[in-house]
C-alpha cells in the first residue's frame, strides 16, 4: 500500500480547504472561457473523481475486474457545481477525501494489487489508481490556487 499517497492526500485535506476559503467568490465562480471550468467546477470535478474512485477502491476488492469509467464533462455539468454554494463544495470535497483516507488506510495490501478497468488501454491496480488519483488532484488544485 502506498502510505506516501495516503499521506499526501491527508496533507491536502489538512491544508487546502483554508486556502480555498481565502479565494473570493467572484474569482472562485468566474468561468475564464466558454469551454473552460470555473475554479468551483474544477473542485466539483475533483468530487466527481472521488466518487468514481471510491467505487473503484471498493468494487475492485470484491469484483473480478469491474468496469468503472465516467464522462467527466457530463458528470460536472449534471452535478451543477457552478450553481452551488462554494462553502458546501469545499466542505464536501474535504469530508469525502477524509473518508477516502480512512478507507484506504484499511485496505489490505494484497487487495491494492487487484485491477479495475477504467476504460483505458489496460486495467490498472488499485495501487496505481490511488497514486494517479492523488497526482490528478494535485494537478487540479494547482490550477485552482495557482501555485
Tens of pLDDT along the chain (147 residues) come to 568 999 999 999 999 999 999 999 999 999 999 999 999 999 999 999 999 999 999 999 999 999 999 999 999 999 999 999 999 999 999 999 999 999 999 999 999 999 999 998 899 999 999 999 999 999 999 999 984
Candidates 13, 39, 24; CA nearest to 134 is 13
Q: Is 34 helix (H, G, I), strand (E, B) or coil?
A: coil
CA torsion through residues 141, 144, 145, 147, sign: positive
Q: Look at the pTM and tell me if it is higher than 0.85.
A: yes
Domains along the sequence of the chain with CATH: 3-145 (1.20.120.450)
Dihedral Cα 90, 94, 96, 101, nearest 10 deg: 160
Amino acid at each position: 500500500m502506498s502510505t506516501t499517497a495516503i499521506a499526501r492526500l491527508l496533507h491536502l485535506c489538512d491544508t487546502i480547504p483554508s486556502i480555498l476559503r481565502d479565494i473570493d467568490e467572484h474569482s472562485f465562480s468566474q468561468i475564464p472561457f466558454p469551454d473552460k471550468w470555473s475554479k468551483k467546477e474544477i473542485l466539483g470535478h475533483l468530487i466527481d473523481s472521488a466518487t468514481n474512485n471510491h467505487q473503484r477502491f471498493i468494487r475492485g476488492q470484491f469484483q473480478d475486474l469491474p468496469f468503472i469509467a465516467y464522462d467527466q464533462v457530463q458528470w460536472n455539468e449534471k452535478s451543477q457545481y457552478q450553481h452551488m454554494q462554494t462553502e458546501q463544495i469545499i466542505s464536501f470535497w474535504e469530508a469525502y477525501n477524509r473518508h477516502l483516507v480512512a478507507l484506504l488506510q484499511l485496505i489490505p495490501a494484497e487487495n491494492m494489487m487487484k485491477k479495475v478497468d477504467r476504460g483505458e488501454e489496460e486495467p490498472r491496480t488499485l495501487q496505481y489508481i490511488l497514486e494517479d488519483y492523488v497526482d490528478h488532484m494535485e494537478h487540479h488544485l494547482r490550477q485552482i490556487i495557482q501555485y
